[in-house]
Structure 1
Amino acid sequence: MTRTAQRVFEHQRVWSVTPKALGEACLLLFAAISRDHPKVDHVIGIANGGIAPARILADRLGVNPRTVQARHNADDGLYQQATGKVTVDFDTFHSILGRRKLDGTILVVDDICGSGATLHTLRNVLTPVLAPDARVITATLCLNSGAQTCPDYSVWTVSDWVAFPWEKRPDQPTTDIPIPEQVTSHA
């Protein structure tokens, strides 16, 4: 039996990603990814959290974003632990592709890597639609310090819950996450 990584929550604060911090984080991700990968052919946002950063990155990279529905948390409550059970609605994505295969460099984007299970599962689910020359890279805004699987790129490493601009505002006070200054490459 495989043990699921446990997300780390110090319960000191709930981080809030402001629109300004989101914009700066995406700009830094774009610069790091462009430096390492001169051409990105496809951008896939993991819904729901990866949609906004994927759109921003796809726009900067000059490609159309795609979306794959995946869910790890049972609900949207604070301090949810990882279950290791990731559900992916791949049928819609696959039907849009038809018989085409994704080739070149494929960037998969999510808002946070909590345990690593969603990124790991999505890499496996994408395998049947990848061309032989395809290369999948991953980027997240946040990386929980308890994650076993890291994205290739992340902006903030966190040990508490994070609220994003597209989510319902938490019922408790939040602390604005600092404006980022760099991206961490885990590749």
Structure 2
Amino acid sequence: MTRTAQRVFEHRRIWRVTPDALREACLLLFAAISRDHPTVDHVVGIANGGVAPAHILAARLGVKPRTVQARHNTDDDLYRQATGKVTVDFDAFHRTLGHRELDGTILVVDDICGSGATLRELRNALTPVLAPDSRVITATLCLNTGAQTCPNYSVWAVSDWVSFPWEKRPDQPTTDLPIPDRVTSHA
């Protein structure tokens, strides 16, 4: 039995990603990914949280964004620990491909890498539709310090809960994450 990484929650604050910080984070991710990968052929956003950043990155990269439904938490309660049980609606995603293979460089985007389980599970789910020469890279806005699997790129390292612009704002006070000035490469 594989043990699921535990997300780190210091319970000091609830971080909030502002729209301005989101925009800057996506610009920085675009610059870092473009520097390391001259061509990105596909962008896949993990729904729900990866959809907005995936659309921003896909527009900058000049490719059509795709979405795959994946769920790790059973609900959106604050400070929910990872279960290790990730569900991926891969059949719906595969139908949107027209049952074709993904070739070239595929960028998978999510809002946060909490434990790493969602990125791991999605990479496994994509394997049957990858062309032999394809390469999967991953990017997240946030990386929880408890994650065992890291994305290739992340912007903020966090040790508390994070609220994103597309989510209902928590009933508790939040602290804005600073406007980022760099991306971390975990390659």
Instruction: Answer whether TM exceeds 0.5 for this pair.
Output: yes
Secondary structure at the counterpart of residue 34 of structure 1: helix
Identity of aligned residues (%): 84
- Aligned length in residues: 187
Measure, in 1, the Cα distance between the counterparts of 2:2 and 2:13. Answer: 30
Tell me which amino acid in the other structure corresponds to 1:37. Answer: H
Tell me by how many angstroms 1:142 deviates.
0.1
Structure 1 residue 148 corresponds to structure 2 residue 148: yes
Tell me by how many angstroms 1:111 deviates.
0.1
Measure, in 1, the Cα distance between the counterparts of 2:96 and 2:172. Answer: 40
Structure 1 residue 181 corresponds to structure 2 residue 159: no
Measure, in 1, the Cα distance between the counterparts of 2:96 and 2:29. Answer: 27
Tell me which amino acid in the other structure corresponds to 1:146. Answer: G
Tell me by how many angstroms 1:69 deviates.
0.1
Question: 5+ unaligned residues in a row in structure 1: which ranges?
Answer: none
Tell me by how many angstroms 1:179 deviates.
0.5
Secondary structure at the counterpart of residue 82 of structure 1: coil
Structure 1 residue 96 corresponds to structure 2 residue 115: no
Following TM superposition, the consecutive aligned residue runs of length 4 or more in structure 1 with deviations greater than 6 angstroms are none
Measure, in 1, the Cα distance between the counterparts of 2:88 and 2:80. Answer: 19
Measure, in 1, the Cα distance between the counterparts of 2:20 and 2:73. Answer: 26
The 5 A counterparts of 1:61-140 are 61-140=61-140
Secondary structure at the counterpart of residue 110 of structure 2: strand
Aligned equivalent of 2:161 = 161
Compute the TM-score of the two structures, normalised by the length of structure 1: 0.99
Please give the per-residue CA displacement for 1:92-132, whole angstroms capped at 9, x wherever unaligned. 11111123100000000000000000000000000000000
Secondary structure at the counterpart of residue 173 of structure 1: coil
Aligned equivalent of 2:17 = 17
Tell me which amino acid in the other structure corresponds to 2:175. Answer: T
Tell me which amino acid in the other structure corresponds to 2:27. Answer: L
Aligned equivalent of 1:7 = 7
Secondary structure at the counterpart of residue 107 of structure 1: strand
Q: What CA RMSD, in Å, does the superposition of the two structures yield over aligned residues? A: 0.4
Compute the TM-score of the two structures, normalised by the length of structure 2: 0.99
Measure, in 1, the Cα distance between the counterparts of 2:148 and 2:104. Answer: 27
Tell me by how many angstroms 1:3 deviates.
0.6
Question: 5+ unaligned residues in a row in structure 2: which ranges?
Answer: none
Aligned equivalent of 1:57 = 57
